[in-house]
Amino acid sequence: MASSAAKHVDARNETQDKSPGLKRPRADDGNRGDDGKETENILSGFKTSNVLSDSAREKIIFIHGKIAEQDAVVVLEKTPFREENLEELFSGSKLRLEMTNDIYSTYRLQAPPHLNEIKTTVVFPATEKHVKKYQKQESFLVEETGEYYKSITLPYIQLQSFSLQWVYNILEGKAEAERVIYEDPDPVVGFVLLPDLKWDQKQVDDLYLIAIVHQRGIRSLRDLKSEHLPLLQNISKKGKEAVLERYNLPASKLRVYLHYQPSYYHLHIHFTKLGYEAPGCGVERAHLLSDVIQNLQCDPRYYQTRTLYFPVRADDGLLGKFKEAEKI
């Protein structure tokens, strides 16, 4: 839904729960599993079909191919530089001169392998929807009234939503338990806070956490009413406290927001460091949690009646539904 290739990374969020052992390998641990041991390189047999999209500026590429004759999507992304590694980077690298002119020189720098990692996300097995999701597409801004949501958007997402089993696995402690930063187990106002897969957890400058609510049945911003204020206020308060305690980042340095449309339809809230241009943080998609709380305090049914705007990719079936209804 976003404007550049980097804005499409949300692999875990839309991965079906068909092969728990293979669907979410992470490259930020090298070839290591959750127990820190070397694990099988499932990409050794990856056969490239085509490049779905890439961004030279963001240093990221999305590749469609096959693993064991099944479709897969691989996302390769250069990891950020870390200040604490600079001395070793300069002293332990090899330089090859490309050009020199007066005081200016350019080189090819070959860094030590452990400082030259590529963050890798694997979606496997990938469906046709996953492949289309990562393919570079033109986007359109949709104007959705409360009535359009009921008559167009809601029926569509009820039929098209991806599996939420991976969400339930996290909430039930069956998966990614070691990655949880904070949990409030209350079934009504509780939530789980953990790193988004887009963050390699190496530095706080690009901090990206997700708060997933325990309460089920709240799909998105559109479902929120005044009765959900205790839940939202709890996430705001305890989430910020957890970030301060764990990463020494005060609330004044955080951007806390919801996406509309979200990537998956179970209420979740994004915590990112202010100043980091996180995917989907633009005004056309992001809604600050503080604004959401104030809007619901003023009008209990604010998000049932308010006209909302959001970007939709050209190949998104929802855009087709709006076009069929002659609403775009």
The catalytic site residues sit at: 268
- Residue matched to tokens 């996290």: 170
Dihedral sign (CA 31, 37, 38, 42): negative
Interacting residues of 320 by C-beta distance below 8 A, sequence separation 6+: none
Dihedral sign (CA 204, 287, 62, 68): positive
Joined tokens for residue 148: 């359009």
Strand order of the β-sheet with 60-67 is: 47-55, 60-67, 70-78, 118-123
Interacting residues of 181 by C-beta distance below 8 A, sequence separation 6+: 193, 194, 195, 209, 242, 246
Alpha-carbon distance 1 to 137, whole Å? 8
Are the C-beta atoms of residues 285 and 260 closer than 8 Å to each other? yes
CA distances from 98 to 101, 112, 295 (A): 11, 20, 57
Phi-psi region of 183 (alpha: psi -120 to 50; beta: other; left: phi over 0): beta
Alpha-carbon distance 92 to 114, whole Å? 11
CA distances from 280 to 1, 98, 325 (A): 8, 37, 27
**Helical packing angle, 289-298 and 229-247, nearest 10°:** 160
CA distances from 196 to 1, 12, 207, 243, 289 (A): 18, 9, 9, 14, 18
223: amino acid identity, one letter:
D
Interacting residues of 142 by C-beta distance below 8 A, sequence separation 6+: 309, 310, 311, 312, 318, 319, 322, 327, 328
